């Protein structure tokens, strides 16, 4: 099972609220995404061709392309606009038969790509960062920056022969996320 390292933010207050969408609107959105070759971050157990629970980069389509799938509804425009402004993903989800399908601003920041690696490599990375186990967790980007500036951390990455991952983590750590409160999360 792969371990994913990604930047997220659950602390910044959002101004938009999740909006219910119809299955016809969802179908229009997925058709538009597939026709523009937009990559979908599909939840486990979903079919990539017709997912119900997935995330997409809010900047992968223009505002007009997104909102045309929803008859230019004001609440959808507000959600897409906020996600695009914050550099976030959009989350589409359906929590069960009685629940509506919704679209909302995701907690995942789309400014940088996720890092995915096998569990053994992830354990080496976390050990080099001073973590004694590879359990799921998180670290503020500020704390990660501080760690990566310590020469002993760099030496630990070199000793484990994973210095290219040090460079990737540095890129993640020094990504400017505006006034958001980002953390680096890892889980499988």
| Domain boundaries defined on the chain | 3-109, 115-187
Asked if the model's pLDDT at residue 40 lies above 80, the reply is: yes
Q: Supply angle C-alpha 150, 156, 162, rounded to 5.
A: 115
pLDDT at 64: 92
pLDDT at 76: 96
Asked if the model's pLDDT at residue 47 lies above 90, the reply is: no
Q: Which pTM was predicted?
A: 0.85
Q: How high does pLDDT run on average in the chain?
A: 92
Of residues 94 and 178, more confidence is placed in: 94
Mean pLDDT of 34-58: 89
d(CA 136, CA 5): 10
Instruction: State the pLDDT confidence band at 90, using cuts at 50, 70 and 90.
Output: very high
Asked if the model's pLDDT at residue 34 lies above 80, the reply is: yes
Asked if the model's pLDDT at residue 112 lies above 90, the reply is: no
Mean pLDDT of 113-133: 91
Mean pLDDT of 60-69: 93
Nearest CA-CA partner of 14 in 149, 105, 95: 105
d(CA 141, CA 143): 5
pLDDT at 45: 83
Mean pLDDT of 95-110: 93
């Amino acid at each position: 099972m792969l371990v994913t390292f990604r930047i997220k933010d659950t602390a910044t207050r959002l101004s938009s609220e999740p909006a219910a969408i119809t299955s016809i609107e969802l179908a229009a959105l997925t058709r538009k995404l597939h026709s523009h070759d937009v990559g979908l971050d599909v939840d486990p157990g979903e079919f990539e061709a017709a997912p119900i629970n997935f995330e997409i980069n809010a900047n992968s389509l223009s505002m007009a392309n997104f909102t045309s799938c929803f008859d230019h509804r004001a609440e959808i425009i507000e959600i897409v606009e906020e996600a695009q402004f914050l550099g976030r993903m959009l989350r589409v989800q359906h929590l069960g038969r009685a629940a509506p399908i919704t679209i909302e601003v995701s907690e995942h920041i789309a400014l940088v790509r996720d890092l995915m690696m096998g569990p053994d490599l992830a354990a080496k990375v976390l050990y080099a960062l001073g973590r004694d186990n590879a359990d799921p967790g998180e670290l503020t980007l500020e704390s990660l920056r501080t760690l990566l500036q310590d020469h002993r951390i760099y030496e630990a990455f070199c000793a484990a022969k994973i210095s290219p991952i040090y460079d990737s983590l540095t890129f993640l750590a020094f990504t400017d996320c505006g006034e958001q409160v980002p953390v680096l999360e890892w889980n499988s």
